[in-house]
Amino acid sequence: DQQVKQNSPSLSVQEGRISILNCDYTNSMFDYFLWYKKYPAEGPTFLISISSIKDKNEDGRFTVFLNKSAKHLSLHIVPSQPGDSAVYFCAASYTGNQFYFGTGTSLTVIP
């Protein structure tokens, strides 16, 4: 019962262009969403989050959009840089206690 889904296992983008990573969820009770970035042999690193009372949150080159009616969120990275190449996980929570993670999208930014 995968409650958070990332349907694209991989994405390649040219340096300087926009990267769009997508995430869908099934549980309408989720009220907090996060994106994490993971490099090989390291734990996930927090990137950006959004509460369900908002539909957009921006932090530098990273913007997260939330569409509650579609149960969909996306992460935009503009402009993409080679150092952004990593696996990106979205996560969701409705109690603040247990987080549900997607299966990840591997982003490759081509110089």
Q: Is residue 100 close enough to count as binding another protein by CB under 8 A?
A: yes
Stretch that binds another protein, among 59-67, 69-77, 78-86, 93-101 (CB under 8 A): 93-101
Rule CB under 8 A: say whether 94 interacts with another protein.
no
CB of 103 to another protein, least distance (A): 5
Is residue 69 a contact point for another protein (CB under 8 A)? no
- Distant-in-sequence, close-in-space partners of 42: CB < 8 Å, separation ≥ 6: none
Assess 42 for contact with another protein (CB under 8 A): yes
Binding site for another protein (CB under 8 A): 4, 6, 32, 34, 36, 41-46, 49, 89, 91, 93, 96-104
